[in-house]
Structure 1
């Protein structure tokens, strides 16, 4: 690790505060003094709570600003775990967190793993494995021909040809 990242982890360099409405870095800071109490609020520039019309009347009347959490960005009702905590530690606090943070979790998974099938390289099938697939495909071909299911038989014929040619892209579904 570099010197800067070590200093961040050690807590020597303070991290910028997060928006009270979402998990982005805060860009707008304001302090509300009402009744002898000073309360500081931080928001990001794009936060919907900052852009709504309810902030200016709240500030003018000296009322406590209620920054509503955007949908799905609140705390888990069971353990109080926030999505910002997940971003930091990369695990949830309890089983209910999966339901409480479902929109963000699904979006993150879709970004990290775009499909349901592996897209990378695959190892070549071993000879006994290939032989077992050939035997199974031939048996299925015979039963398809006996039942006069010619479409399935044609597909199986093509799979057998691929397996006999030794191509690694033979479909594993047989």
Structure 2
């Protein structure tokens, strides 16, 4: 898709705006977007990173004897507090104490204790699978013109859908 502004370059920025309850979408190349004061996604900060950066500012007083920078990527704790982003996986262990404090503030703890996914009631999923299987069999019975078998399958499907066991 070409840029709507210059019509020459490939559109890389897709800007959606809502004004007066009307949504407009513009497709712009990077050059035209920069000319309009928009930046590409590489330098834009994410809302979560901004939030973490704000929370990190409160950590400054609580930090005790933290190392200055990560030996792997060179990120400092001050850089993390500004951006809300870690530089590499090793940053987790280097800034462990500060991150634990931040996670405790954000989540109320440092251990995951969230909800566990439970599938739907097993008998419900078994019943649904049985209905799907019966419908396939019904289709094959109709295609082969075995109408007596098709009628029996239809009745089984109706009973299962009504909540009765077949």
TM-score normalised over the length of structure 1: 0.29
TM-score normalised over the length of structure 2: 0.30
